[in-house]
C-alpha cells in the first residue's frame, strides 16, 4: 500500500515537472524540468521495484541516474557551443574571453 501511494505521488510530481518543461519559457527552464523529471523517474523506478517485489530494478534506477546526469550535461554543452567536440582548454579560453563577470566591490 505504501509503495502505491508513493508511486502515485511521484507520478503527480512527474506531471507537474512535465508541465513546466512544456511551458518553458526559456530553454533552461525546460532542461531544469527534464532534469527534475529524471530524478523523480529514478525514484519511481526504485519504488516500482519494491512494488512488484523485484528490487533488481535498482540496477535500472542507477543506470537511469547516470544517463540523466550525462544527458543533462551533454544538452547544456550543446546549447552553449552548438558543438560537443571542443576540448576543455579551448572551452575555458572561450568562456573567459566572451563572458567575464567581475566580482563586485
Partner 1 sequence: METAALILDILSWALLLIGSAACVLAGIGLHRFPDVYSRTHASGVSDTLGVLAILTGLLLQAPSFGVGIKLLMVLGFLWISGPTATHALVQAAWIRGIEPVLGAGPDPFHRDEDGDNTEEVQ
Partner 2 sequence: MTFRLATLVVLFSGIWLLWSGYFEPLLLSLGAVSVAITIWLSLRMQLLDRESAPLHLTWRFLLYVPWLLREILLANWAVIGLIIRGRGAISPRWVVVDGRQHHDETLAILANSITLTPGTVTVDVAGRTLLVHAVDAAAADGLLSDDMNRRVAALEVD
Binding site for partner 2 (CB under 8 A): 59, 62, 100-104
Asked if 46 and 58 touch (Cβ cutoff 8 Å), the reply is yes
Termini Cα distance of the chain: 57
Asked if 34 and 28 touch (Cβ cutoff 8 Å), the reply is no
Asked if 43 and 3 touch (Cβ cutoff 8 Å), the reply is no
Among residues 79, 74, 80, 105, the alpha carbon closest in space to that of 92 is found at: 80
Least CB distance from residue 10 to partner 1, whole Å? 6
Partner whose footprint covers residue 51, from partner 2, partner 1, none (CB < 5 to 8 Å by kind): none
Please report, as ranges, the residues that interact with partner 1 according to CB under 8 A: 2-3, 5-6, 9-10, 12-17, 19-20, 23, 26, 28-29, 31-33, 35-36, 39-40, 42-43, 46-47, 50, 55, 58-59, 61-62, 65-66, 68-69, 72-73, 76, 79-80, 95, 99, 101, 104-105
Amino acid at each position: 500500500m505504501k509503495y502505491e501511494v508513493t508511486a502515485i505521488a511521484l507520478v503527480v510530481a512527474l506531471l507537474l515537472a512535465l508541465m513546466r518543461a512544456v511551458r518553458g519559457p526559456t530553454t533552461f527552464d525546460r532542461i531544469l524540468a527534464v532534469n527534475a523529471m529524471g530524478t523523480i523517474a529514478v525514484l519511481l523506478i526504485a519504488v516500482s521495484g519494491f512494488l512488484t517485489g523485484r528490487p533488481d530494478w535498482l540496477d535500472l534506477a542507477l543506470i537511469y541516474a547516470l544517463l540523466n546526469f550525462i544527458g543533462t550535461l551533454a544538452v547544456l554543452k550543446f546549447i552553449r557551443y552548438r558543438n560537443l567536440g571542443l576540448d576543455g582548454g579551448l572551452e575555458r579560453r572561450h568562456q573567459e574571453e566572451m563572458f567575464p563577470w567581475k566580482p563586485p566591490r
